Amino acid sequence: MNGIPPAPARTRYNRAMAFLPTNRDEMAQRGWDAVDFAYVSGDAYVDHPSFGTAIITRVLEAAGYRVGVIAQPDWRDDASIAVLGRPRLGFLVSAGNMDSMVNHFTVNRKRRRSDAYSPGGRAGLRPDRACIVYGNLIRRTFKDAPIILGGVEASLRRLAHYDYWADKLKRSILLDSGADMVSYGMGEKSIVAIADGLAAGLAVGDLTYIPGTAYRTRSTHAAFEPLMLPSFQEMQADPLAYARSFAVQCENLNPYLGRTLVEEYPHGVFVVQNPPAEPLTTEEFDAVYELPYERAWHPSYDEAGGVPALAEVRFSLTHNRGCLGDCSFCALNFHQGRIVQARSRASVVAEARAMTDDPAFKGYIHDVGGPTANFRAPACDAQRQRGACPGKRCLSPRPCSQLAVDHGDYLALLRELRELPGVKKVFVRSGIRFDYALYDPDPAFIDELAAHHVSGQLRVAPEHVAAPVLEAMGKPPHQVYEAFAARFRQATEAAGKEQYLVPYLMSSHPGSTLAEAVQLAEYCRDLGFNPEQVQDFYPTPSTVSTCMYFTGVDPRTMQPIYTAKSPREKALQRALIQYRDPKNRDLVLEALREAGREDLIGYGPQCLVRPRAAKAAGSKGRKGPGRPQGRKGHRSR
């Protein structure tokens, strides 16, 4: 994609005409008798660049294609998929901005009661395993229409993967959905290449050459120098074969050096994954975000109160994508990649200036971020030509000697945004990589962050304190977080403010036994920190940590690693972190006894909880361990 042309001119007969058509009447208003592509989404239709539907459809529109949107079709009614008729070139299918199973279920496999990506937050408007259901719905209705999957759900299930909700290894989503291809990753380049190939008259089965795609086939002759992964049958029989396969996949996520991967299935079926698409240039990235988005939900949702997910991003700015952090529990490496891409400052500032014209804008830019807010460039110059080094991490357990740490461009962007007329405050609410910030020899970023861009609390993600867990997570040693906390406190005091760090903490991550969970609880005790929210480790598809959870080994080393799997032990580890909550008292007692830490049961200042006898004796009005203190954050120790 060598630059994206402006979208074709259109006449706006009504407010809905500003959006892409969602039914035959809206097609007729444009004089269309058919669309080139029907985009089927598990999300409600929101035309904002924080939503994948908006980006892909606007990119195709700018490339000259007619695109319609079928948002949240009723999967129980075949007619719902035919509201735009048969598309000329094919169907594009996405579960939405989230994996549909993560959207629907908590880590305890309990169904959620709301859906922020649906009108009025209403749950139940998309099916479980949405890509599979939508794909089969289309295949029943339009038997030979090309089907291309995209989005997070399809990207992370493009090859065989462990499925936490079924608790088993599942085959590529291509086979269960009946789709022809997956456009994986962010998809702007691959989707235009797919569209151009189909428009040129190629059959979808001939589109075997496009980076950033995976396809199913009965012959691998078109695969360039393929690397065979363990077969699906091998992986079913031996989880360690899956760990070996996953390690090979991790080593081939580099768009410049990655190999074509092939996975064999029974009955002569293969899934072929081409290397990732190259990252966007700054000019291409700018072009994507400068397309004519309405930055609103479709007006058909007004009566329901709109789409709640828009509120979080309506007045936020995305300035980057990709993440060099490479945390084990994060799927960004498999989806956006490790090479950081950034928009130009001029493009971001122009978007902010336009934002100030919105009557609903109150002067507050809620975020200037992305996957990690304080990344604006690749980790080193070598990444620009060769990509990220396979088998190496840029930041952990210690920074690479070639890592270039520089916040200068990000600071310049934040300063320009602060000076815009109509802007009162610019916040940074995306997570920052605190170790990267600390490694910068120039103190200006932390100083200005504390002085101008924090709203009372800065959320950071040490995730844990125990060395074995941090090593498994791909996070820096805990001392690095402590050094950042001290540095942030110093900057906050110099700014004359009272601000707190609020750490994200995770329980039950691979590597954490009850001993490590107790260590984390003691850390919270020493800080006087009462975390209101703790994230249990959630084994989502295609992360290193999920591979650990399923196989019992770290795929990077093939060494065994302990993982808490039973609901009981996961509950014990979580309760320890929130030991002050009275409803967790019995679980904390059980966990401490099982861990051999009865020394933490009692009345002393180091104790986490009182013995059960204290309940009968009564201690009305006394403060001490076991009574919530109401602390939401901490300065640092």
Provide, rounded to the nearest whole percent, the portion of the chain with pLDDT above 90. 89
Is 624's pLDDT higher than 80?
no
End position of a domain, from candidates 273, 304, 329: 273
Based on the structure, what is the number of domains in the chain?
A: 3
Q: Is 572 domain-assigned?
A: yes
Question: Do 610 and 546 lie in a common domain?
Answer: yes
Could you tell me the CATH number of the domain that includes residue 112?
Answer: 3.40.50.280
Contact present, 310 and 118 (Cβ < 8 Å): no
Read off the pTM: 0.92
pLDDT band with cut points at 50, 70 and 90 for residue 613? low
Q: Is 283 domain-assigned?
A: no
DSSP state letter for 594: H
Q: Which residue range(s) make up the domain with 79?
A: 15-273
End position of a domain, from candidates 453, 476, 502: 453
Is 74's pLDDT higher than 70?
yes
Give 188's contacts (C-beta < 8 A, 6+ positions apart): 1, 55, 56, 59, 280, 284, 288
Question: Do 44 and 83 lie in a common domain?
Answer: yes
Is 594's pLDDT higher than 60?
yes
Question: Do 139 and 49 lie in a common domain?
Answer: yes
Could you tell me the CATH number of the domain that includes residue 493?
Answer: 3.30.750.200
pLDDT band with cut points at 50, 70 and 90 for residue 11? very low
Question: Do 432 and 480 lie in a common domain?
Answer: no
End position of a domain, from candidates 453, 484, 510: 453
Question: Do 494 and 443 lie in a common domain?
Answer: no
Is 331's pLDDT higher than 70?
yes
Instruction: Give 77's strand partners.
Output: none
Could you tell me the CATH number of the domain that includes residue 437?
Answer: 3.30.750.210
Is 540's pLDDT higher than 90?
yes
Write down the pLDDT at residue 364. 97
Question: Do 422 and 394 lie in a common domain?
Answer: yes
Question: Do 257 and 341 lie in a common domain?
Answer: no
Residue 240: other Cβ atoms inside 10 A: 16
pLDDT tens for 15-65 read 556 999 999 999 999 999 999 999 999 999 999 999 999 999 999 999 999
How far is 50 from 54, CA to CA, in rounded Å?
Answer: 8
Question: Do 146 and 38 lie in a common domain?
Answer: yes
Question: Do 167 and 24 lie in a common domain?
Answer: yes
Q: What is the DSSP string of 153-187?
A: HHHTTSS-EEETTTTEEE--HHHHH--SEEE-SS-
Q: Is 298 domain-assigned?
A: no
Is 403's pLDDT higher than 90?
yes
Contact present, 607 and 600 (Cβ < 8 Å): yes
Is 619's pLDDT higher than 90?
no
Q: Is 72 domain-assigned?
A: yes
Give 40's contacts (C-beta < 8 A, 6+ positions apart): 70, 73, 81, 91, 92, 93, 94, 134, 138
Q: Is 567 domain-assigned?
A: yes
Write down the pLDDT at residue 16. 54
pLDDT band with cut points at 50, 70 and 90 for residue 431? confident
Question: Do 202 and 344 lie in a common domain?
Answer: no
Q: Is 541 domain-assigned?
A: yes
Q: Is 1 domain-assigned?
A: no
Q: Is 300 domain-assigned?
A: no
Question: Do 166 and 28 lie in a common domain?
Answer: yes
Q: Give the pLDDT mean for 355-374.
A: 96
One-letter amino acid for residue 382 of the chain: A
pLDDT tens for 269-312 read 999 999 999 999 999 999 999 999 999 999 999 999 999 999 98
Question: Do 26 and 137 lie in a common domain?
Answer: yes
pLDDT tens for 158-210 read 999 999 999 999 999 999 999 999 999 999 999 999 999 999 999 999 999 99
DSSP state letter for 295: -
Q: Give the pLDDT mean for 513-526.
A: 96
End-to-end CA distance of the chain: 50
Write down the pLDDT at residue 7. 42
Helix, strand or coil, per DSSP, at residue 504: strand
pLDDT tens for 385-402 read 899 998 889 999 899 999
The H or E element containing residue 502 is strand 500-507
Give 353's contacts (C-beta < 8 A, 6+ positions apart): 420
